[in-house]
Amino acid sequence: MTVDDKIDKIDEKIREIKEAAGEIERLGGDIEAIKKNLVRLRASVKMLELNVSDVKMVM
Amino acid sequence: MTKNSSIYWNPLLETMDREKLRNLQLKKFKRIFEWAYNNSPFYKKLYRDAGIELGDIKTYEDIKRVPKIDKGMLRNTQSKEPFPYGDMLAVPLTEVTEFRQTSGTTGTPVYQADTWQDWEWWSECWAYILYAQGYRDTDRLFLPFGYNIFVAFWACHYAAEKLGCEVVPGGVLDTEARILKMQELKCTAFAATPTYVLGMADTAMKIGIDPKSIGIKKITCAGEPGASIPATRKRIEDAWGAKVYDHIGATEIGAWSYMCTVQKGLHVNEAFFLVEIEDTETGEIIEEPMKSGKMIITAFDRYAKPCIRFDSKDVIRWADYDCECGRTFRCIDGGVIGRADDITKVKGVLLAPTAIEEVVRDFEELSDEYEVIVTKKGDIDDIMLKIEIKPGCESRKEDILKRLKDQLRVKTNLGYKIEVHPYGSLPRYALKAKRFKDLRKH
């Protein structure tokens, strides 16, 4: 697998995490413990995007 | 994923081909520009008044058309809603989780808002710094700072945790207690301003502890240019028996630059920041190495209070060498050489205060403290240097003063009046030192 292939794959997985976060949020409704922990999760996922997904912009 | 990946926090970005990196910067600039335009009333007005609209940034050259901002504008916007940040804020106030403020050294403090994502970004930027300086999960890092409203080493704390280091918060302890705690816990590293690092060594000696015996392997400095001044860095390394690394950041910008273990220049984290160097006389952007100008900087990924083409007034220059570490991020040479508003003409000669520090810190007979005072008598500038001679060296005072005057003249082209003060009598600073006082302006 080339580096570009790996970046593609990681980016795909990052998007899956984001989709899963959206689904958890919908299922969680008004539960604050879910909403606020998802803020933290999304911030961490954003750092993965900055480190990997952004590279896709110039591949 | 790539060769030698273990020395990089992220080899995908840190070793990216220069052309791709430049392309990435353009794309990321467009992203933050559009975010600010769409979400910050301050930026929208600024850009509309300048005749720049969404979609106008198509090439790297177009970036130069985007209006700069400065600290005065940051202060002015704070008088507007929402309190206390003003209309530069680009997120709902309910999303702001962090408050910090600038030290106020140059005027009214600027209040900085960050969301949790911005705060993660701060620690991500610091993760690049610490990893490049050799921090790993085997390190026990001591942080001797106040943990208060100033950003100081807060993000260093979070980044070190991210790396897996064990972090010891040395918050409200006094200097003696901090030294004893570092000794007791066998800490391997600490981070502080160069002034405080030297002050800690001094205090350690006073209580009978040789700083070298503590076992510190590396020290990360920030807040002042000292660790990029070879004489100051050597003084710290000799005192602690540790490697000393510089880092540059600012509350309103982020942690944008770092020295790696090669200890040559400071890499600009060009995947997260765009640094432009502007000729202060012509306003042109300087691309050539070793030509000084003031820094205009953009943080690509900070969203609550975006920092786009911020005129920092820091004077820097691109290095004329590549770093051996393999990072493709460009280096600046000598860290922040001065402040555009500090570099001043004395007796018609351009003077950077760091040049004086370089000379003073090269004299092992002198203490770490000094003060420079510029005054005007009639039409004539007068420059006074206050120093302390270390105990045991007083008998060589005349020789020291002669050599010091000679060196100052060689390095700065100026003659100084020199005042010798008793050892320990000049002010000691815990954070940023204010050693250069130009009283002609007041």
B35, B94, B117, B131, best to mutate vs chain A, most A CBs in 10 Å: B117
Does residue B23 have a pLDDT over 70?
Answer: yes
Instruction: Mutate one of B21, B123, B124 to test the A interface: name it (highest A CB count within 10 A).
Output: B124
Are B261 and B201 in a shared domain? yes
Are B83 and B164 within one domain?
Answer: yes
Query: Do B233 and B227 meet the contact criterion of CB atoms below 8 Å apart?
Result: yes
Instruction: Give the whole-angstrom CA distance, residue B367 versus residue B387.
Output: 7
Question: How remote is the C-alpha of B360 from its chain's centroid?
Answer: 21
User: Mean pLDDT across chain B, nearest whole number?
Assistant: 93
pLDDT confidence bin for B164, thresholds 50/70/90 = very high
Query: What pLDDT was estimated at residue B62?
Result: 96
pLDDT at B432 over 80: no
In B40-150, alpha helices (H): 41-49, 71-77, 116-132
> Would you say how long chain B is, in residues?
442
Look at residues B282, B310, B341 and tell me which one is the last residue of a structural domain: B341
pTM score: 0.88
Boundary residue ending a domain (B341, B370, B393): B341
Whether the CB-CB separation of B249 and B302 falls below 8 Å is answered with no
End-to-end alpha-carbon separation of chain B, Å?
A: 58
Kindly tell me if the per-residue pLDDT of B3 is higher than 60.
no
Residue B288 CA to its chain's centroid (Å): 22
Q: Which residues pair with B438 in a beta bridge?
A: B374
**To the nearest whole angstrom, how far is the Cα of A54 from the nearest Cα of chain B?**
8
Are B329 and B358 members of one domain? no
Range list of β-strands (E), chain A: none
Higher pLDDT, B77 or B376: B77
Q: What is the CATH number of the domain that holds B172?
A: 3.40.50.12780
Kindly determine whether residue A55 and residue B1, on different chains, have CB atoms separated by under 8 Å: no
Tens digit of each residue's pLDDT (9 = 90 or more) over B186-216: 999 999 999 999 999 999 999 999 999 999 9
Check whether residue B122 and residue B234 sit in a common domain: yes
Over the stretch B296-316, which tens digit does the pLDDT of each residue have?
999 999 999 999 999 999 999
pLDDT of B368 over the 90 cut:
no
Nearest CA in chain B to A53: B12
Neighbours of A21 (CB within 10 A): 17
B416 is written with which tokens? Answer: 């100084």
> Cβ of B18 under 8 Å from any chain A Cβ?
no
Chain A interface includes B30 (CB < 8 A): no
With an 8 Å Cβ cutoff, are A52 and B28 in contact? no
Judge: A6–B13 Cβ closer than 8 Å, yes or no. Answer: no
pLDDT of the residue at B105: 67
> B287: Cβ–Cβ under 8 A, 6 or more apart, which residues?
B318
**Domain match, B272 and B321 both:** yes
Whether B270 and B362 map to the same domain: the answer is no
Helix, strand, coil % in chain A, rounded to nearest 5: 85, 0, 15
Nearest chain B residue to A57 by CA: give it: B24
pLDDT tens, position by position, B105-147: 667 899 999 999 999 999 999 999 999 999 999 999 999 999 9
Query: Is residue B14's pLDDT more than 80?
Result: yes
B366 lies in the same domain as B312: no
Residues B331, B381, single domain; the answer is: no
Cβ atoms of B360 and B297 within 8 Å: the answer is: no
- Whether A58 sits inside 8 A of B13 (CB atoms) is no
Q: List, for residues B37-90, the tens digit of each pLDDT value.
A: 999 999 999 999 999 999 999 999 999 999 999 999 999 999 999 999 999 999
Residues B314 and B378 in one domain: no
Q: Is B2 on the interface with A (CB under 8 A)?
A: yes
Q: Which of B427, B408, B406 is nearest to B360 (CA)?
A: B408
A14 DSSP 8-state letter: H
Per-domain boundaries in chain A? 3-56
Smallest CA–CA distance, residue B120 to chain A, in Å, is 6
* B126 and B27 in a common domain: yes
Selected residue with higher pLDDT from B377 and B207:
B207
Contact list, B94 vs chain A (CB under 8 Å): none
Please tell me whether residues B323 and B355 are part of one structural domain: no
Which tokens in the block code for residue B76? 């002015």
Looking at B341, B376, B405, the residue that finishes a domain is B341
Task: Report how far Cα B157 is from the mean position of its chain's Cα atoms.
Answer: 17
Judgement on whether residues B368 and B289 belong to the same structural domain of the protein: no
Residue B156 binned pLDDT confidence (cut-offs 50, 70, 90):
very high
Mean pLDDT of B234-260: 96
Q: ipTM surpassing 0.90, yes or no?
A: yes
Q: Which domain covers residue B381, as residue numbers?
A: 344-441
Give the whole-angstrom CA distance, residue B58 versus residue B53.
11
CATH code: domain of residue B424? 3.30.300.30
For chain B, what is the domain count?
2
Q: Which residue of B has its CA nearest to A52?
A: B12
